[in-house]
Structure formats: C-alpha cells, structure tokens
Amino acid sequence: MSLTSIALAGYGVRTRHGASVPAAASVLHPGERLLAGTPAQLHAAAATPGRTTFVPVHYAAGGEWELLALEPRGLGPPLPPGEAGDERIDLRIRIAATTAAPEPASEGGSQPWQRLRTALWQEMAQTGSGVAAMAQLTQAPGLHAIWPALGLRNLVAMLARQGARAEALKLVEQARQAHPEYRELDYLAAKLLLAEGDPLGALAALRRATREVANPGAVYVGSGGEAGYRAHHVMAQIAERSGNQAVAIRHYLTGVLARPAYEPSVIGLLGQRAPRSSLPGLDMLLLHLGRAEPRYQTAVFTWWLLHQRWETAARALRIWTMPEEQRRAAEERLAAVHPPVQCARRAGERAGVVLQGPFLMVASSARINRYLGGALLADAALDVALEPTLPAEERQGAFPAPAGWAQGLRRLPRRLDVTIRHGWPPEFTPPGRGKLAVILPWEFGAIPRSWVEPMNRMDRIWVPSQFVGEVLARAGVEASRVEVIANGIHRELFRPEGATARPAEVRGMSFLFVGGAIARKGMDVLLAAWRQAFSARDEVTLVIKAMGAQTFYRHLSLAEEIAVASRDAKAAPILYREDTCSEAELAALYRGCDVTVLPYRGEGFGMPLAEALACGKPVIATAAGPAPEFCPREAGWWVTAREQEVPRALQPPQAMTGPFTWFEPDVDSLAAALQAAASASAAERARRGGIGSAHLHARYGWEHITAQYRQSLEALL
C-alpha cells in the first residue's frame, strides 16, 4: 500500500511536544531530488499537526545496487502540551539522496532511522565500512519489523556492491525466511541470480516478487516497483540476453510508462535497434515521455534520428517545451540528416547504402543479410547502415563475426543512394531517396500478378538461382532488372575438417534433414520414402533438424506426422530435433551425419544442400529447380520430380501470373536414392562429398558472392 499509518512511536522518532520542537517542515536537502511524488505531496506530508511522515530515501539512486533509508521528511506543526502525535510512512514519495558528504551534525543518533542512515553514509564513503553497523541494526531487539528487514535488504545490496554475490544470495534466503512477505528480497534475488548466470532461477524469483502476498497488511519498504516495473526491468534483461527483443521491449515499456519513468528501463528501451514494425507504437509513448520528463528529450530525439523517424522528431520539436538553445541544436541535427542527400556525389564522398531485413534470427534470410552487411560495411567507399525489419530472436554473439556487421545496426548514412531489401514479405515501395534493389528468393512457378508492375519500376532484383530468374521472366518482369547471384557459404565454418556432432541415439548410417518440416520442403515425401526404403531391421537412422518449428513455420509444421512415423515399430528410427543451434553447431551436425537429404517441392536456392556439400557430405536432392545449378551431378543422388500445380488449399488467395506450381518428388525415386546411399561404401560417399566440397569452396564462398553483389551495386551508383 502506498500510504500507511503504523505505530512507530518508541521505534522511530520520539513523540514531539513542547516549544523545543521545530516548526512544520518538509525536508529536501540541497542536491536532493524527488524520485517519486510531487513537491505538493511532500509539503502536504508536513501539514498535519503532530505527525511525522517517513519516506524512502535512495542512496546511490539509479545505480545497480541502490541503498535504501527511511527518514522523517514531513514534520507537522507541534501539538499542544500533553497531546500525542503519530507517525506515518508515505511510499508515494521517494527521494534521491545527495552524494555529498553529510554535515557532521546530521550524523549519529540512536533512533533506528538514524542508525540506518549513518550506516549508509559510512558505506557510501567507503565500500564495506557500513556493513558492521548495518548488521547490528538487524539484530537490535524490540524494533518494528520494518527496520531489521530494511537492514537485511541493505546488507544484501552492500555485499552485491562488493561483488560478493554468492554471500548476498545466502543472506537473501535467510532474510526471506524471517520476512516471507518482503517482495523486495525476491527482486534482489532475481538480480543476483541473473548476474550469476542463472536466468531460470531469476525468473522463479521474479514470480515470487510479483505474486499476491498472503498478508496484504504487512508493511515493508522496498525500492519502489519491485513487484512491478523493476521486476519487469529484470525480465527485460533476461529476454535481451536470450535475444528475444520483442519480449524485452514489452517489459522495458512497463518502466517507461511509470511516472516518473524508471530510468534503467528508459535506457534499456533506447538501447534497442528496434524493428520498423514496432516504431509507430513506440513513437507516441516516447513523445509523451519527452513532454512529461524533459531530461529524456535529447536521448529520445537521438533514437528517432537513428530510426529515421523524421516526422516524429519534427513533431516533438513543435510540442515539447525545451530551452531555445537545445531546440536550435535539435533542429540543426534533424536538418543534417533529413532528407538524406541524393545529389551527385563529390569526388571521394562515400555512397550511402541501407540494407533492410532481419538480422538477429536463425533464418536463411537473416544469415545472408549478416554476411552481405558485413561485406558492405568493410568497403571504405560505402557508408552503410543495417535496418532490422523484425525483432531480434537471438543475441548478437550467437552469430559469427558480430564485430564485422553489428556496428551497422547503430549507423545512419549521411546520404542515401541505394536501399537494399531482403526479407519476407518482400517490400517494393520506393524509398524516399535513391535507388531500390531487392533480394527475392521464390519457390514456385508463378508470382502474384500485383508484383509485376512495381518490380518493373525497381532498379535491381537479385535472385539466388536461374530457376527464380526464369519464373520472373515468364511472369513478365523485365530481364534487364533481374540478376542471378547465388547464396554463399562460410568457408571457415562449413568445411570437411572440424568438430562433429552425431546424436547418441543414431544407429548405423545417418541421414540428415535440415530445414522447415513442412510440405514445401518435402517432409511428407521423405517420411513415405523412408518407410518404403527401410525397416526396423536396417542399420540406418533419419535425423530431422527442424527449423522454425515454433516461429515462422509453426502453422505449417508436420511435427505430428513425424511423431507418428517415429513411433512405428516396423520403421527404421527417426530422431526429431527442434532446438536452436548456432552455425558452428549446425556445421558439426552436417559433419557428424553421413548424407543430407532435401527432397524439396519448392526452393529458391537450398542452403542446407550447399552447407552439407561444403562440409564434405553427399546429398540427396530434387533433380528439378535450383539444386542442379550448384550441386555437381556426382556429388550425390538425385530424385526425379514432375512440375504440378500446388494443392488449392495451399495456394495464396491473390491472382497469379500463371499456374501456381511446384515440383512433386517421386517417392519411388527417393526411396531408391536412400537405398543407394545406404549401400554405398564410406569411401564412395566421401568421394561424392569431396567433389561437392571442392566445387562449393571454389565458387560459393561468401567473399566470392559478396563481390558479385558489390559489382552489381557499383552499377547502380
């Protein structure tokens, strides 16, 4: 509860009476500021005769481990002789203490709040020096429970400030036994557990911190928001460490929406390179934040410039109240970047390029964007920015060489010459300045009719295979706008030499499927051919490494069909995995299995085939579509397929440029290929894999592929 009357007489300030008591006063020392509440509320706390109002005072306010006091800051007018006053705690008001040294006269005193404050001053002066005095307060007899609980809370913070997190965690557990309703202790435990690398333990502590207490009448003094926005801030940190940006932003917003806003949450939100899809909703919240709390205006304005929210930034300058000098500086900053320059480049001036698409995801499009972005950023002739279109799902460190591309997420080119887009769904809207190039993978025999006109206005369409180029040509897209640039492989990661990962449950020879476990990838065809080719007597295992089963393919996944097939006692073993793995772990899995199989119905390229071959493993692939363009004939076994119309239930609703087709792999042909691969000797499989590896490493390394992009980009500049 925010305002509580409790009997602190004899435990807090002695009842005041007589002429020696000072006149009414609300106390805010020089250098202090209100963290919560208003000056009017603080003055009102001193309005009731005979009442002393205690409020929380934060030392090291805003730091990672704040120290917390409870001090009398509202002193009501004195009562007539013989009348008793009362004491209250008002949790609506919070004060950030000054960091200056205390006046000698303000130190000392025997009352609990004075002893607490003295211990905090000692700790602020020298880390560790206040521990003994604070420990004595927690053990003093006859005190109201507020005081020892607050002392224990501060001891935990003191230990954490010293880096003694293990000791602090032990003390938290002891304190929780004595004060089970004190949710501040659960909040502190969550912070400590997260710092110790235990996010699951931190989440469990946060669930306790945000629970309904059994005794709502119990009064404790916490940091403020420990069961609300502070707890959500820790949840945001947990989400951010795991790479889940959408969840992190949602939890940071809880603190941004608090009044006053919780500064660490504001910092956390403004530290995000937010996806374009989330920006309209955030704009209004940040406009209101800047109006309500002007100290955040510069940081919010800078964030808008990074995200190219020109109109929102201009609106803020119209409605925010700010010093004229600050306004002029902001107007100059906005004018310097909006609109981005498009006039002819001067000699030696760098060309501005923005690459838009997903980056921090386990998806082929994001992987391509990272490698292409890294190569463009390394080019001294280009001024490059990476603009995410979807929330991050993984942290930057989960991907190779973040130092080469992550810097682009925080950049803003001075000029804009070319915008490159690669993501789903494709966006053909012309940029505000410069030229437009789109990377377009496509898996079917026709495209939406509505795409043709805008595509014929684009400056360049990069497609990953000749197959996709032919589809666009049949659809009526001008050939002069289309250029084939294949996808690439990381030659240091995907190579025959290196760590191997072979699931312990594998029996005999192993076949590996990597990709979405969906009909377009041929999963149902593979299950049918597997049952036809092998039985439980055969020493073979099918390993299915499903991608996107819980994200972009979750509504199309055939996981249930796989589960049924894996329970068939007459069939050869099937292992199914949905876990997320890094590129290095994926390469080890390719090397640990014997043959990779991808009997697709529709692909724009087929990254798993290229990666498996690069690792020296032969493949089984559909003999139509893009695979024959980069897979040598002798590098595996081929599955015959015929082009046919996609079932009506799976077709998109819009009008198409022609029959909406894909390739139907022949089950008998796939079964025969599986048997042929199983009967081949290890030497024969190694020979075929070696052919594929040499071919991929010679022609499809990312350095070779990105050079093609750079050459094509130069023609646009």
- Residue 213: is its pLDDT beyond 70? yes
Q: What is the mean pLDDT of residues 610-621?
A: 98
Q: Considering only CA atoms, which of 160, 155, 150 is closest in space to residue 65?
A: 160
Does residue 36 or residue 107 have the better pLDDT?
A: 36
Q: What is the mean pLDDT of residues 657-665?
A: 98
DSSP letter for 382, please: E
Q: Considering only CA atoms, which of 104, 27, 137, 34 is closest in space to residue 71?
A: 27
For the stretch 592-603, pLDDT in tens is: 999 999 999 999
> What was the pLDDT predicted at 12?
38
* DSSP string of 566-597, one letter each residue: HT-TTSPPEEEE-----HHHHHHHHHHSSEEE
- Residue 401: is its pLDDT beyond 90? no
**Can you tell me the distance from the alpha carbon of 362 to that of 35, in angstroms, rounded to the nearest whole number?**
42
For domain 509-703, the CATH architecture is 3-Layer(aba) Sandwich (3.40)
**Can you tell me the distance from the alpha carbon of 187 to that of 208, in angstroms, rounded to the nearest whole number?**
8
Q: What is the pTM of this model?
A: 0.84
- Residue 490: is its pLDDT beyond 50? yes
- Residue 10: is its pLDDT beyond 70? no
> What was the pLDDT predicted at 211?
87
- Residue 634: is its pLDDT beyond 50? yes
For the stretch 404-424, pLDDT in tens is: 899 999 999 989 999 999 999
> What was the pLDDT predicted at 100?
61
**Can you tell me the distance from the alpha carbon of 241 to that of 261, in angstroms, rounded to the nearest whole number?**
23
Least confident of 20-24, 191-195, 558-562, 621-625: 20-24
For domain 3-209, the CATH architecture is Alpha Horseshoe (1.25)
* DSSP string of 160-217, one letter each residue: HHTT-HHHHHHHHHHHHHH-TT-HHHHHHHHHHHHHTT-HHHHHHHHHHHTSPPS-TT
> What was the pLDDT predicted at 107?
56
Same fold, 351-484 and 509-703: yes
> What was the pLDDT predicted at 15?
35
> What was the pLDDT predicted at 24?
60
* Start-to-end CA span in the chain (Å): 64
**Can you tell me the distance from the alpha carbon of 322 to that of 294, in angstroms, rounded to the nearest whole number?**
7
What are the strands, taking DSSP E only, across 460-590? Answer: 460-463, 482-484, 509-515, 540-546, 574-577
For the stretch 420-470, pLDDT in tens is: 999 999 999 999 889 999 999 999 999 999 999 999 999 999 999 999 999
- For residue 308, CA distances in Å to 279, 322, 340, 412, 483 come to 10, 22, 10, 8, 29
> What was the pLDDT predicted at 81?
87
CA atoms within 13 A on the CB side of 394: 20
Q: CB count, 10 Å around CB of 433?
A: 17
| CB 385 within 8 Å of CB 412 | yes
For residue 108, is it left (φ>0), alpha (ψ between -120 and 50) or beta? left
Q: CB count, 10 Å around CB of 222?
A: 22
| CB 185 within 8 Å of CB 174 | no
**Can you tell me the distance from the alpha carbon of 543 to that of 524, in angstroms, rounded to the nearest whole number?**
14
260 preceded by cis ω (within 30°)? yes
DSSP letter for 341, please: B
H helical segments located in 358-494: 364-377, 402-405, 449-455, 466-475
Q: What is the mean pLDDT of residues 352-371?
A: 95
- Residue 172: is its pLDDT beyond 50? yes
Q: Assign a CATH topology to domain 351-484.
A: Rossmann fold (3.40.50)
**Can you tell me the distance from the alpha carbon of 302 to that of 118, in angstroms, rounded to the nearest whole number?**
41
For the stretch 509-557, pLDDT in tens is: 999 999 999 999 999 999 999 999 999 999 999 999 998 877 777 788 8
Q: What is the mean pLDDT of residues 337-351?
A: 83
**Where exactly are the structural domains of the chain?**
3-209, 247-337, 351-484, 509-703
694: three-class secondary structure by DSSP: helix
> What was the pLDDT predicted at 203?
96
- Tokens 């007539």 map to which residue? 80
> What was the pLDDT predicted at 563?
94
- Residue 685: is its pLDDT beyond 50? yes
674: three-class secondary structure by DSSP: helix
- Residue 347: is its pLDDT beyond 90? no
Work out the percent of the chain whose per-residue pLDDT is above 90. Answer: 83
Question: pLDDT tier at 7 (50, 70, 90 boundaries)?
Answer: very low
DSSP letter for 503, please: -
For the stretch 244-283, pLDDT in tens is: 999 999 999 999 999 899 999 999 999 999 999 899 999 9
For the stretch 560-586, pLDDT in tens is: 999 999 999 999 999 999 988 899 999
**Can you tell me the distance from the alpha carbon of 482 to that of 460, in angstroms, rounded to the nearest whole number?**
6
Work out the percent of the chain whose per-residue pLDDT is above 70. Answer: 95
Which two tokens mark 562?
């796989």
- Burial class, 437, CB count within 10 angstroms (exposed 0-12 / middle 13-18 / buried 19+): buried
For 79, residues 6+ apart whose C-beta sits below 8 A from its C-beta are 16, 17, 49, 50, 85
Average pLDDT, the chain: 92
**Can you tell me the distance from the alpha carbon of 153 to that of 398, in angstroms, rounded to the nearest whole number?**
36
For the stretch 60-118, pLDDT in tens is: 877 889 999 999 999 999 888 888 889 999 999 999 998 665 554 455 688 999 999 99
